[in-house]
């Protein structure tokens, strides 16, 4: 997303959706005004239940990454439902890594290279991801066999079969 016009864009109304979106700033210009707040660096916008007004800033440029519903958690490791209708500075979540990715993207001229760099950072976030071993217990499952039986009753297949199936989309 580039805002290379001679002035800030007029307000754009963004309709609610269930996606989490990451906007990585690759310029020194503040990204946008959302609501009444100016966001200077990269931001993450959590799923929305109401529309919001956004004004892109003149000279701003950012790479927008949209996570399908339920797919953002491994990258941010925070409960998404807690932050519904919230926009946060990415540095509040990724600390030093946010500045690092912004610096890397700022020296790049093509969107293809920006996407490649961002993808490597996202994969790096996943590489350090450790599964949450307490989630099954907290969901009421006292052992793996109990979970597997319910999973197969719900999907018609075992968790392993679903993970490797090419004809199932989730």
DSSP 15-70: PP-S-EEEEEE-SSS--EEETTEEE-S-EEE---SS-EEEEEPTT-BEEEEEEPTT
Range with the lowest mean pLDDT among 40-49, 146-155, 160-169? 160-169
DSSP 8: P
Residues 103 and 149 in one domain: no
In a domain, 76, yes or no: yes
Residues 83 and 42 in one domain: yes
Residues 33 and 78 in one domain: yes
Contact 74, 134 (CB under 8 A): no
**pLDDT above 70: residue 132:** no
Residues 116 and 149 in one domain: no
Range of the domain at 139: 135-163
In a domain, 169, yes or no: no
Contact 24, 60 (CB under 8 A): no
Q: pLDDT at position 136, please? A: 65
**pLDDT above 90: residue 116:** yes
Instruction: Give the residue with greater pLDDT, 7 vs 155.
Output: 155
Residues 139 and 122 in one domain: no
In a domain, 73, yes or no: yes
- pTM, two decimal places: 0.70
In a domain, 6, yes or no: no
Residues 55 and 102 in one domain: yes
Q: pLDDT at position 8, please? A: 65
Residues 150 and 74 in one domain: no
In a domain, 2, yes or no: no
Residues 42 and 123 in one domain: yes
Residues 71 and 142 in one domain: no
Domain total in the chain: 2
In a domain, 117, yes or no: yes
Residues 139 and 109 in one domain: no
Residues 83 and 149 in one domain: no
Residues 74 and 100 in one domain: yes
Maximum mean pLDDT: which of 58-62, 90-94, 131-135: 90-94
């Amino acid at each position: 997303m580039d805002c290379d016009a001679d002035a800030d864009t007029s307000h754009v109304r963004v309709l609610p959706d269930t996606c989490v979106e990451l906007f990585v700033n690759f310029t020194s210009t503040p990204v946008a005004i959302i609501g009444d707040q100016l966001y200077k660096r990269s931001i993450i916008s959590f799923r929305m239940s109401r529309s919001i007004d956004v004004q892109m800033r003149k000279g701003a440029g950012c790479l927008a990454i949209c996570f399908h519903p339920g797919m953002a958690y491994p990258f941010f490791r925070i409960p998404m439902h807690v932050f519904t209708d919230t926009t946060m500075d990415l540095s509040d979540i990724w600390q030093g890594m946010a500045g690092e990715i912004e610096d890397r993207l700022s020296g790049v001229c093509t969107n293809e290279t920006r996407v490649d760099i961002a993808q490597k950072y996202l994969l790096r976030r996943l590489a350090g991801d450790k599964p949450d071993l307490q989630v099954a217990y907290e969901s009421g499952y006292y052992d793996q066999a109990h979970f597997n039986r319910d999973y197969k009753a719900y999907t018609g297949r075992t968790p392993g079969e679903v993970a490797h199936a090419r004809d199932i989309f989730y």
